[in-house]
Amino acid sequence: MTFEFSKTLTATATTIPGVVLYDLPVHGDNRGWFKENWQREKMMALGLPDFSPVQNNISFNETAGTTRGIHAEPWDKFISVATGKIFGAWVDLREGESFGAVFTAELDPSQAIFIPRGVGNAFQTLEDDTAYTYLVNDHWSADAQGQYTFLNLADETAAIEWPIPLEQAELSDKDKAHPRLADVTPMPAKKILVVGADGQLGKALRAAYDGDTRVEFAARADFDLSSEASYNTRNWKSYSTIINAAAYTAVDTAETPEGRQSAWAINVTAVASLAKVATRHGITLVHVSSDYVFDGTAQSHDEHEALTPLGVYGQSKAAGDAIVSTVPRHYIVRTSWVIGEGSNFVRTMASLAARGIAPSVVNDQIGRLSFTEDIAGGIKHLLETETDYGVYNLSNDGDPQSWADIAADVYELTGHNRDSVTGISTAEYFNGKTAAPRPLQSTLNLSKIKATGYVPETAKQRLADYLDEGANA
């Protein structure tokens, strides 16, 4: 067998999304040859996913013409030839527009190919004594066989031109019995799990993903973040993403002994459990953070600012952020002044205006509202565009305002006199009351999220829309 030595390590995209063909440097001399079949650092630099392989399998084939497949397993594979030569055929058996797409190539030891979950794999040996190797990111088990998808090697739609006609090749009886493409049930995409789906953000995520069968919504009754059983009764290999929309947000109550315990249980301990699952199974974890992780001394907060929380709530959110940042695949979405379906500041001000009450509202806390519609849209954008993992600020856009400014806007937009709102300092407002410390500056710098192509609506426009929808509800 002859093949080219000392190729440059290169990656070539194929006709099937996610399937990538690699040329490997093989170094030879009078003794034989040597190659780095799998080199994580170099291959990731070329764009190969960090798919965390856990098992290496070898298929030895004694004679040329041995043909195996077409099998799509519920895991990713990095395939190469140890010795000999093969004709490889791959068919996309995943749900989606590329279902049925075909790619073929001849592989010798100087090449390898990455095959994502759900893409059917088949090969035919072109030389005697050929060894075909698989590096996979899940352990084989008898239970997993029920999740396989198969296609007949002779399928007329795929129309694979086998170098050695199948009637002359060595096939197993099982492979001969696999269905044609028209009878294949496509392998479903991995699921997205939304926990905390009954809260303000959870309801907005339900609307954002309405009709998407990949997304599973778990309210508190469906997934108890504090229960070990919630984490042990799911097949996590069938999930690509967890969106954590659950949080303890009672800022003032968090300062009490009972509230402190609850805040840490939900915002830290439960987050640690989600992080452990995500890390172990290669799942992307989306976690929602808060402006309360900062002390509010900076005029605008960017994603690189050190965490400086003032109160128990902020401290618990900062601890949760630190945990999530250790997950290899994570998005921390930092928001401020969240407004969605349910009780909130805007609804309270609208109610006061309707009753003719003239409130005193703090005027030295500055920031922007974050409507759950836009938070959900931003999360969906990050996941769909596969933007770099990390921290992203996400509030609505526009000029920063005080709570008093926003209250005055609510009065005006609901047909009342904005001068009914009186500004008051935070110190005056909470004088004699038990309250958690608040950051005075909560404005989030949105440059990073905008650079990904997501530009949130202005807070003023979204406020007008929100009040208009409420009036017409």
Q: Which of the residues 22, 132, 134, 313 is marked catalytic?
A: 134
Phi-psi region of 356 (alpha: psi -120 to 50; beta: other; left: phi over 0): left
Phi-psi region of 91 (alpha: psi -120 to 50; beta: other; left: phi over 0): beta
Backbone angles phi, psi at 333, to 5 degrees: -105, 110
Alpha-carbon distance of 155 to 445, in angstroms, equals 55
Alpha-carbon distance of 88 to 455, in angstroms, equals 44
The amino acid at residue 389 is Y
Instruction: Give the contacts of 261 (CB within 8 A, at least 6 positions apart).
Output: none
Q: Which of 199, 44, 56, 254 is nearest to 138 (CA)?
A: 56
Do 57 and 105 contact (CB within 8 A), yes or no?
no
Backbone angles phi, psi at 456, to 5 degrees: -65, 150
Q: Which of the residues 71, 301, 381, 416 is marked catalytic?
A: 71
Do 244 and 332 contact (CB within 8 A), yes or no?
no
Helix/strand/coil for 77:
strand
Active site residue 331: no
Helix orientation angle between 372-385 and 200-208, rounded to the nearest 10 degrees: 50
- Rounding to the nearest 10 degrees, give the CA dihedral for residues 55, 61, 65, 67: -30
C-alpha gyration radius of the chain? 28
Output the six-digit token pair for 5. Answer: 């030595």
Active site residue 178: no
Instruction: Give the contacts of 23 (CB within 8 A, at least 6 positions apart).
Output: 7, 8, 9, 10, 12, 110, 111
Output the six-digit token pair for 313. Answer: 């709530």
Instruction: Give the contacts of 366 (CB within 8 A, at least 6 positions apart).
Output: 400, 401, 402, 440, 441, 442, 443
Do 53 and 137 contact (CB within 8 A), yes or no?
yes
Helix/strand/coil for 382:
helix
Q: How many CB atoms lie within 10 A of CB 392?
A: 26
The amino acid at residue 370 is S
| Residue positions annotated with a catalytic role | 71, 134
